[in-house]
Amino acid sequence: MAIVNITIETLVHAPINLVWDTWNSPNHVVHWNHASDDWHSPKAENNFVVGGKFVYRMEAKDNSFGFDFSGTYEEIVDKKRVVTRLDDNRLVKTEFHVENDSVRIVETFEAEDQNSIELQREGWSAILNNYKLYTESLQQNKSLLVE
């Protein structure tokens, strides 16, 4: 079966240091790593080094279903790129491109064969959008305090 890659992206209106931190810090991941409001990530662990593992627990808030989203880091280029191999052997490449005072995140992942391409794109896009909203809210609150 041929590997199908799906690419999603967003523009986050925040500086690269904040974007990088909220993307990789378990203290932040638990706030944005869900595709809908009836899900959450109650626990996140991250050994953010090449060869290190991450485990993000994803659960329905009604406790009807949950799973660990996990993998191993294959490449980390500081504030530019993260490449992971998920535990089901799929590759995920996330790139961070600074554009003026914002960061464009481009994420490409290998599709799995249990859900439609469109459903996977929608789910991953929803998580990326939650990430954007969370990170931008931190940036907004920070700028309100500075002014």
Note the pLDDT of residue 146.
46
23: pLDDT strictly greater than 70:
yes
- Mean pLDDT confidence for 123-136: 97
Percent composition of the chain: helix, strand, coil (DSSP 3-state, to 5): 30, 40, 30
Distance from C-alpha of 26 to C-alpha of 43, rounded to nearest angstrom: 8
Among 49-63, 90-104, 132-146, the range scoring the smallest mean pLDDT is 132-146
Q: What are the tens digits of pLDDT across the range 1-13? A: 689 999 999 999 9
Q: What are the tens digits of pLDDT across the range 75-119? A: 999 999 999 999 999 999 999 999 999 999 999 999 999 999 999
147: pLDDT strictly greater than 60:
no
- What's the pLDDT band for 144 if we cut at 50, 70, 90? low
Distance from C-alpha of 140 to C-alpha of 119, rounded to nearest angstrom: 31
25: pLDDT strictly greater than 90:
yes
Note the pLDDT of residue 142.
74
Instruction: Show the domains of the chain with their CATH numbers.
Output: 5-146 (3.30.530.20)
The alpha-helical segments, DSSP class H, found in the chain are: 16-24, 26-32, 117-146
pTM: 0.93
Note the pLDDT of residue 2.
80
Q: Return the structure tokens found at 125.
A: 């896009």
C-alpha angle 45-32-14 in degrees, rounded to nearest 5:
110
